[in-house]
Structure 1
Amino acid sequence: MTKVWHEGLSTPILCVCASSGPAGLIASGSEGGDVVVWSQEGCVVSHLNLPGADDCTSVAFSPSPSGLLYASHGDTVRAYDLRNFKDAVQEFVGAGEEEINALALSEDGSTLALADDSGAVRILELPGGKVCRTLRRHTNICSSVAFRPHRPNNLLSAGLDMQVMLWSLQKTRPLWNLKLQDISEEEVDHQQRPGQLFNPPLAHCVSVACCGNVVACAAEDGRVHLMRVGAGSKLERQGAFKAHRQGASQAHFMPFFSHPYWLATGGNDGQVAVWDISKHAVVAAEEVKVKGAAASYRKGKRKGKKNMEAQDEKDEDDVETKPNSGPKVNISHGDKVNWLCPALLKGTASLIVADQSSSLTVYPLPGL
């Protein structure tokens, strides 16, 4: 049953995150700098207002036992101890060159990445908050960052320059960057009707599956762009599928289902959807490649190398042309989605949605 959590405030909620700790707390940040911590039942556990009038643009729980909550506003990041939520235990003024849009913590909680309006990505060592890297390749606002699971030195970033980049934190240049407009323009060439307009694929939100090899990025063209990272952190394959009639603002993998390729998306069309992308060409490529190689080897023993290569090409074509099966869950939320947060609430897989209101909407997903 859908539930609505009210915080008693009047400003729209901009960001949401879920704790992996035993209490399973939820945090939200709002316009005007309000930060609220919620219980799994939707009760307000703590509430504070960040200094100044800046909006709270991102919140993130530390995965370490410290139990800290990080919140960004303006160019500043503050950390709060959930046992004493009144005063910040750490304060990183000027952590961003301009207003911070997104925070991401490494799996061990020792590194904090932030994306800001200047296009820069800054890497802070914790707990001290020392800036150890500043990554500058985005030519417009950097909107989202995400660490690759199991690879603490790899970081994804996405921006309004329509680019997604994979960084090694040991270097100051990306290992690769993907220009989303190149993919979209190729699709438009095949699909556009006379007089039809397409939004540019401004990259809003990047997420990495728990396997660490599949990346999803929600973009303004209404598509979710997919990338597969192969050996040596190389970009192995990329593609996209249409997810929303208007801009897709959110894409988050849901790690608590039967496989790591369940993806939740939200858009400016007021729709929330859950997708099983395990059969998409980008995701399934490795499995098909292995099966195709085995089949080709058996046939190649009889027919020679030329037939092996032809069979390999056929196997890849079969995958690439397989259509997307559509969302497994499609919810008409009715309002533009600011943030999506997958969470396990009292053992039930759920989606927490922040929109233009001051409330959170919770959609249980018990059937998946």
Structure 2
Amino acid sequence: MRSGVICDPNVARGLGMESLGFQGEHTGSVLCVDVSEEVIVSGGENGDLCLWNLEGKLLNKYREEGTDCTSVLLSLVKKDVVYAAFNDVLKVFNRGDMSTPTDTFTYNSDEINQIAVDEKEKYLAASDDAGEIRVIDLTEKKLFKTLKNKHTNICSSVCFRPLKPWELFTGGLDSKVIHWDFSRHKCLNMFDMNELNNPFETPDSYMVSPPFVHHLAASPNGKYLVAALENGLIAVFDSTRKHLRELFSLHTHTQGVSQVHFLSDDKFVSGGNDCCIALWDLSKSQDHPDLVLPANAHAANGTSNGISSAPDPLETKNQTMTDVCLVTKIEHTGKINWMKPFHQEQWKIIIADESNKLSIKAIDV
């Protein structure tokens, strides 16, 4: 899943590379990373889990032999807590002493791809290769719900819906984005990425780069949901109402998009297998309502409303919206497995790639 051409350096600007520490501790590729105001946590192949300060000095380390650490998360509510997934097991650590986990949850039946917590950090959701999502009650330390029978392939990403405490979004390698009420195990909304408007599609596009969903991100104010797709597109949805609505797609990555993360309510970054990172500003789309898809261009729940969604081949609406919203595009040295933006005097991005070390890039926002 973590699947390069190098970006044209002429499009790169506002970029600084920090050559700090972050070396000599991971024994294989770094697969995932998270950052808070004080520390960075990274997980990788061979079961390595590392805790660093922002200068790249190792603070603590744990290794789970015979497995990989596939997703990590730093608690924002309980400052000393680290969550980490090892194959199908979720472990909770105290970052002051990571020699042994404080809690272990074994509810998932297959490899966990991403973990996420809600805003109050009462619930943690873990999406896995079986296409299922286990929601754990962290207060009661027990399984709350199992969401299944909707994804028909690997569930690669999960994120809670901001300001809606019982809702979350999931994406998978069945090319579906699903909107859940997890309190009732109810599918509220479902989109098939194969049905999205794609003016870049060719007859063999699906075989070469199907629109698998690799990652999802919701804006802090709940206005947008963006989906990183294997075909190089970023699908942008309006999530202000009960049902998602497709707005437009952005296209600048030449290979699969692996990561999307919001910096603010309107700005987000994307990273891909083309070794590139792009910064986007969705507020600029508000000045071009003619480029936003009409409300009836697509129906939810994987159904068609009878209105053709095929774009006029002479039009380049999505490309124009890309030109409108793209702020800058910068290059990296490898395919991006995971990344996370953070603010330290300026905006920076911590990046995990196919190497065994982390890197930090500064970006001019």
Q: 1:127 to 1:33 in 2, by over 3 A?
A: farther
1:224 alignment counterpart: 234
Aligned 1:1-368 pairs, distance under 5 A = 1-4=16-19, 5-9=21-25, 10-19=27-36, 23-50=37-64, 52-65=65-78, 67-92=80-105, 94-136=106-148, 137-183=150-196, 186-188=198-200, 192=202, 198-231=208-241, 233-255=242-264, 260-280=265-285, 323-325=321-323, 327-345=326-344, 347-365=345-363, 367-368=364-365
Name the SS of the counterpart of 1:29 in structure 2: strand
Quick check: which one's helix share is greater?
A: 1
TM-score (norm 2): 0.82
Q: CA deviation at 1:196?
A: 10
Judge conservation of contact 1:123–1:132 (CA < 8 Å) in 2. yes
Structure 1 runs not aligned, ≥5 long: 290-318
Q: CA deviation at 1:336?
A: 0.8
Q: CA deviation at 1:87?
A: 1.4
User: RMSD over aligned Cα, in angstroms?
Assistant: 2.6
Q: 1:171 to 1:187 in 2, by over 3 A?
A: farther
Bigger Cα Rg = 1
Q: CA deviation at 1:80?
A: 0.4
Identity %: 29
Query: 1:171-195 CA distances to partner (integer Å, 9 max, x unpaired)?
Result: 21211011111115x535xx53899
Q: Which residue identity is paired with 1:274? A: L
Q: 1:74 to 1:323 in 2, by over 3 A?
A: closer
Q: CA deviation at 1:128?
A: 3.8
Q: Distance in 2 between matches of 1:40 and 1:333?
A: 20
Q: CA deviation at 1:228?
A: 0.7
Q: Distance in 2 between matches of 1:236 and 1:71?
A: 33
Query: 1:80-132 CA distances to partner (integer Å, 9 max, x unpaired)?
Result: 0112221111111x221111110001111110000000000110001443111
Q: Which residue identity is paired with 2:274? A: D
Structure 2 runs not aligned, ≥5 long: 1-15, 294-316
Q: Distance in 1 between matches of 2:238 and 2:275?
A: 28
Q: Distance in 1 between matches of 2:92 and 2:284?
A: 40
Q: CA deviation at 1:320?
A: 8.2
TM-score (norm 1): 0.81
Q: Which residue identity is paired with 1:350? A: K
Q: Distance in 1 between matches of 2:44 and 2:205?
A: 39
